[in-house]
A and B are shown apart, each in its own frame.
Chain A
Amino acid sequence: MTETTVTPERPLVVEEGETRPGFIGQNIPRKEDKRLVQGEGVFFDDIKRHEMGFVHFVRSPYAHARIKTVDVAKALELDGVYGTLTGDEVAILTDPFFELSTPPGAHIKDYALAVGKVRHVGDPVAAVVARTRELARDAAELVEVDYEPLPLVLDGEQALADEVVLHDDAGSNTVWSGTFDWGDFEGAMAEADHVVKIERLHFDRFSSTPLECSGCLVEYNRGTGQWTIYGNHQMPGVGAIWMAPALRVGLDKLRFVSQDIGGGFGNKITLHPQFTACCLLARKLNRPVQWTEWRTDQHTANTHGNERTFLDVTVPVKADGTMLGFSVKAIDDCGAFPRYEPLGCIIWAQVTPGCYRWRNVRVDFTQVCTNKSPVAPNRGYSRMQHLWLTERIVDIVASELELDPVEVRKKNYVKHEEFPYETPNGCIYDSGDYARCLDIALDLIGYDSLEERRRDAESRGKLFGIGIGSTLDSGTNNFGQSMILNPDLQFSGNNEVATVKLDIFGEVVVTLGTVPQGQGHETTASQVVAEILGCTPDDVTVRAGHDSYWNSHAGFSGTYASQFAVTGLGAVKGAADKLAGEMKQLAAAVFGATPDDIELAEGQARIKGNPEAALPFMALGAILNANNAGLPEDLDITLNVRYVYRPPFQKPDLDRKYGNLTLTYATQIHACALEVDPETGVYEIVDYAAVDDCGNRIHPQIVEGQVHGATAQALGAATHEIFTYDEEGNLLTPNFYDYHVPHALDMPPMKNGFIESESPFTPLGAKGMGEGGGAGIHAVCAALQNALGRRGEGPIVWRSCNPYHRVWEMLQQPEQTRRLVEVESR
């Protein structure tokens, strides 16, 4: 950006839903802000405990090696060192974390520290605890580890050959493998007028790198055997499911507490190995222990987004531009340990045909381990990679067959009148209007003046390109999809919990099961409760953060997968509705009326049409809790409600790999205009539009903020953010010096638009949103393709991340990528 950036105007809201009275849909001030802008948030590293010890992990410098010996003697001699932990101890004290996959992946043994072998640079081998952070770091240098380096494998396709195998217990690098075949792909091929073949596409490794790194402070109560973990695990429901059996204790012995978390984006879901190590240390050393992950640790070891190679993409197309489906062989590289994987092997199927009405899809999917950092469900998890594939397909087919990129999308998009739309594998897209979103995006970016802008750019010696990225943000998972991968898994459906109570002094207090990292849950929850109870959000206290002791959580609790507006607020609504019912029952009992006669408004329960007969909340709370003599015996209320929201899911059909896998589908359609300097390969995004449709927006500002943030992350992933390795398995972008995250001057001018297509399936008509589905990546790739490659000539953009040197290579040797595409016309 060279000139002054044009301020994005107020977001264009094309269609406000009908005006709703009350707080839902309003931009109320965020409850979280007051403490955060004063630096009074409580992040895990802010918490201190008397005599706590600081943990430093000794990490492997090798990508693959046998551990011959680990000698901590010298470290223990250092004054101020409290103790150590090694893999040998871990192997005795814990059982391996359970694996989600079928054999061979099922046989992988994953522990809190490396046992027997290290499998990626940065793999923790031992832990040292000392009085200060610096001493722990010093002592770590004194730990002597004798390694026997082994050959390594850094490429997913090579890993398939099993020449170098990471996990001897599994005997193969393949974590999971399966085929998906829906519709009639052979029939589609027979019907096609053109067949476009793309030899390979590659979705690069990157991560959303939350600004706050991972960490925890763990206390162990010897008397009760209770661990308290003050840490930023964003899905503690699942964290506990991994950790408790490993530690050989019941789930309740692990209390997870967090208040504020500095971003997660999926990278704080698989913290169980490090947290388990800290639990063992806290117990062994009988003192609180604290672990802070540093940026380089996060990049090298914890975690990356899935890297996926798409081979032999085959697309049957009709003469009029209708695409009939596609087939592909996908190889997913999950790094050294699967952990949350192989769920990524099915999660993409939530959006099998992307935004399109394709009925015939065949996917041959294999996931492998390599000697790289393990992956985690990074923002957009598995759908982003797949949606990028569908957008590259549309973009490349349009380019090769000279189809208009806008018209071909509209022709192939699921149509507004077709919702709810069932995809070939039984997922139900709830609502949307993709063509309309596209029109808005094009209008915002001034698509009509495209040719004029191209001429202007060319007069300045630049190549100009415009690209569209369509994506879906599927949210609220049916965990039954895991059974498609492994029928023996006992996971299905989903849940989230909330409690709402009316206290003695009339305070309304809410607890959530979620683990917010900036999504404004306290605020939106208060909006929903206020509207139902007839008070204001200021009257509603929502406890900050997460605490297992609130008993406000269930198996799937956490903040992930674009679902809070559905699951979290669904639980809040359910609890608030029930509480409202109880309040009316109580008021009715007091007034000698029936509950139907009672309304809740202005902080009171009162008889409809007789506002004089009113009981303020304080009175209700006091009566039940402290002054309840004389109440009817059959008045079965507590004014303290716990509600578990359960989305309506069935178990999928495992044979056909068929069923509804997610409840809601938010849309994001982006358009990107960029200019490429053909002399250098340097490019600049000069204009950008993002249109979002997430159904009823509970708090529009929060939704818009998520769109801005998802776009920024996608633009980073499209331009500079990539995890590249050298031949020895060293990460070449291990910190923010080399891994360039966009700053304020890197951002293009952004224009935003929104529509609201209510979801018919959710308690509030809202859809989950936030991940964003990587639309920015799709749009930038399309824009580069438009700028660089035209009509059967020029290069093909086949990778998701295109730093300047890749653009340069494409400019210099277009034939190298051109040959990846073949068109057969009949």
Chain B
Amino acid sequence: MLLREVEYARPASVQEALRLLSDQEGARALAGGQTLINVMKARAASPDALVDLNGLDELKGIDLGSDGTVTIGAMVTYSEVIGSAEARARPILGEVCAQIADVQVRNRGTVGGNVCSNDPTNHLPPLMVSLGATMHITGPGGERTVAAEEFFLGVYMTAAGPGELLTRISVPPGKSDGFASVAIGKDGTCIVNAAASVNGGARVALGCVDAVPVLLKTDSAEEDAVRAALQGANLDPPSDVHASADYRRHLAEVVAVRAVAQARGKS
């Protein structure tokens, strides 16, 4: 409940933020704080310094391009996604954000924080993978982009490395999307979740079953194709107090099928 000593800075620009993050090895970016502050309360991790991104207007805002691409600033909150007319161009974004925790968390938690913390039970990593989103990273070497399916490297680890920042996420146009989960209590922690997009075939990204979202691609969006892909994936999910590995593996198949069915229904 009580944090270790930490330094704190609130940069006014992304450049300043990057400099602060590079200067100190133990510096961490502080986004919405809905994960990091809890981690620090438990003293499970204790950065030496926090670089608060909440003052960076450059990381806010949701843009709808003329080609239908939705670009979301990394510091956009879940509530802002839900309330955004631009984000509604790809409705699944708001629908999934509305399933995260509760109003208070949604008012502070950010899209960037959710993907960069990459807790295996998070909602947005599998969603961004299934949508084929593009992650924009900036660092000392300049700007670069990484496809969502290559962005997630391990538990709590992403391609945004030390000294780098995720600045925005571009989501291509589309509407045939679905998301299904089994959670502890309504909108609670996910035991398993799956995000799907259909465009002829299906892209299904499974969360909670591995360190990073597991992406499956099928040529057909029909149920048997999805089930076949799940079985072929040889999932080896973790066991915990909420689900055994077997149960999780089974649920993964169920939510994958449901997510794809939802997506199919919107095609």
Contacts and interface: CB of A to CB of B under 8 A. Distances in A.
B241 A738 contact: yes
Interface stretch (A133-141, A657-665, A772-780): A133-141
> Taking each of B2, B5, B38, which has the highest tally of chain A beta carbons within 10 Å of its own beta carbon?
B2
Contacts of A724: 241
Interface string A269-312: 00000000000000000000000001110000000000000000
Contacts of B243: 804-805
A682 B182 CA distance: 8
A68 interface: no
Given A743-B185, A805-B242, A805-B243, 19 more contacts: A134-B5, A138-B5, A295-B1, A296-B1, A680-B254, A681-B247, A720-B184, A733-B241, A737-B189, A738-B189, A738-B241, A738-B242, A740-B188, A743-B102, A743-B186, A745-B186, A746-B186, A803-B242, A809-B247
Contact of B185 (A133, A137, A138, A720): A720
Contacts of B191: 804
A742 B1 contact: no
B251 A740 contact: no
Interface in A724-776: 724, 732-733, 737-738, 740, 742-743, 745-746
B182 A745 contact: no
A679 B4 contact: no
A294 to B, nearest CB: 4
Interface in B159-211: 182, 184-189, 191
B98 to A, nearest CB: 12
Contact of B247 (A295, A738, A808): A808
B231 interface: no
Contacts of B244: 805
A681 B189 CA distance: 17
Contacts of A1: 186
Given A679-B254, A808-B247, A732 B2 contact: no
B240 interface: yes
Interface in A783-826: 803-805, 808-809
Contacts of A804: 182, 191, 242-243
A680 B251 contact: yes
- Name the residue in A137, A682, A804 with the highest tally of chain B Cβ atoms < 10 Å from its Cβ: A804
Contacts of A134: 2-3, 5
Chain A interface residue number, banded: 20 to 34
Contacts of A681: 247
Given A1-B186, A745-B187, A804-B182, A137 B2 contact: yes
A729 B187 CA distance: 29
B2 to A, nearest CB: 4
A74 to B, nearest CB: 16
B241 A732 contact: yes
Which are the 6 A-B pairs with shortest beta-carbon distances?
A732-B241, A137-B2, A745-B186, A294-B1, A740-B184, A134-B2
B221 to A, nearest CB: 19
A680 B200 CA distance: 28
Q: Which of B38, B42, B241 has its CB near the most chain A CB atoms (within 10 A)?
A: B241
Contacts of A138: 4-5
19 contacts: A133-B2, A138-B5, A295-B1, A679-B254, A680-B251, A732-B240, A732-B241, A737-B189, A738-B189, A738-B241, A740-B189, A743-B185, A746-B186, A803-B184, A804-B191, A804-B242, A805-B244, A808-B247, A809-B247
A745 B240 CA distance: 25
B3, B5, B243, B247 interface centre (most CB from chain A within 10 Å): B247
Contacts of B4: 138
A236 to B, nearest CB: 26
Contacts of B185: 720, 740, 742-743, 745-746
Interface string B219-257: 000000000000000000000111110010011001000
Interface residues of B, number: 25
A743 B188 CA distance: 10
Contacts of A803: 184, 242
Contacts of A682: 182
A733 B241 CA distance: 8
Contacts of A743: 102, 185-186
Interface in B1-41: 1-5, 38
Nearest to A719: B185
A264 to B, nearest CB: 21
B208 to A, nearest CB: 14
Nearest to A684: B186
Nearest to B244: A805
Contacts of B102: 743
Given A732-B241, A808-B247, A680 B182 contact: yes
A261 B185 CA distance: 27
B244 to A, nearest CB: 7
A482 to B, nearest CB: 36
Contacts of B187: 745
A743 B187 CA distance: 10
B133 to A, nearest CB: 28
Nearest to A725: B241
A733 B4 CA distance: 24
Contacts of A740: 184-185, 188-189
Interface in A658-697: 679-682
Contacts of B242: 738, 803-805
Contacts of A137: 1-2
Interface in A1-42: 1
Nearest to B240: A732
A741 to B, nearest CB: 8
A369 B5 CA distance: 40
A1 B185 CA distance: 10
Interface string A124-167: 00000000011001100000000000000000000000000000
Contacts of A295: 1
A719 to B, nearest CB: 8
B78 to A, nearest CB: 17
Nearest to A747: B186
Contacts of B250: 808
A327 B106 CA distance: 53
Nearest to A141: B43
Interface in A94-108: none
Nearest to B255: A680
B231 to A, nearest CB: 16
B42, B242, B243, most chain A CB atoms within 10 A = B242
Nearest to A806: B247
Nearest to A733: B241
Interface string A361-389: 00000000000000000000000000000
Contacts of B38: 737
A746 B187 CA distance: 9
Contacts of A133: 2
A367 B42 CA distance: 34
